[in-house]
A = this chain, B = another copy of it.
Amino acid sequence: MKIRLFITGGTIDKVYNQSNGELEFDKTHFPEILSRARLEVDLLIEQLLLIDSLDMVDADRDLILERCIKCEEKHILITHGTDTMCETAKLLGQGSIDKAIVLFGSMVPYAVNGSDAFFNFGCALASLQLLEPGVYISMNGRILPWDDVKKNKSLGIFHTLNP
């Protein structure tokens, strides 16, 4: 099974910029993350974007959709900021692509103590290999379909529409 991992940014890849004290993007951590995971899967990283998901515009989502359709792999992982992850999942889900696609991200950056990033990547990668074609979000240890998932911003968790 060949897997494509699309990087789009989001909290998971933010790092501390000591010049201005802000969390910003420098480069993706996924080459390091893959190595640490001791992966024995056939996975190819491709960076599409490296932005905050609140800054994503239609053209960004169209790019993600297009790359999902056009890439040769049938199994796709997408890193994504949590704030608009459900929106992108919906666009992809409505696209009726005959591939398994799992979006994930993290509540705390990979580079910050107590991050959920490495765990979330494990959940997304394992579920991707077992799911039927469709679009899913994997967060909080669960795998939720694109048309039954919502982020509760005050709690910082993803749940079904009628939990």
Contacts and interface: CB of A to CB of B under 8 A. Distances in A.
A114 B108 CA distance: 16
Contacts of A40: 140-142, 157-159
A18 B107 contact: yes
Given A21-B23, A112-B16, A112-B112, A39 B141 contact: yes
A21 B109 CA distance: 9
Interface stretch (A57-65, A67-75, A88-96, A122-130): A122-130
Interface residues of A, number: 49
Interface string A31-42: 001001111110
Nearest to A14: B21
Interface in A1-51: 11, 16, 18-19, 21-23, 33, 36-41, 43
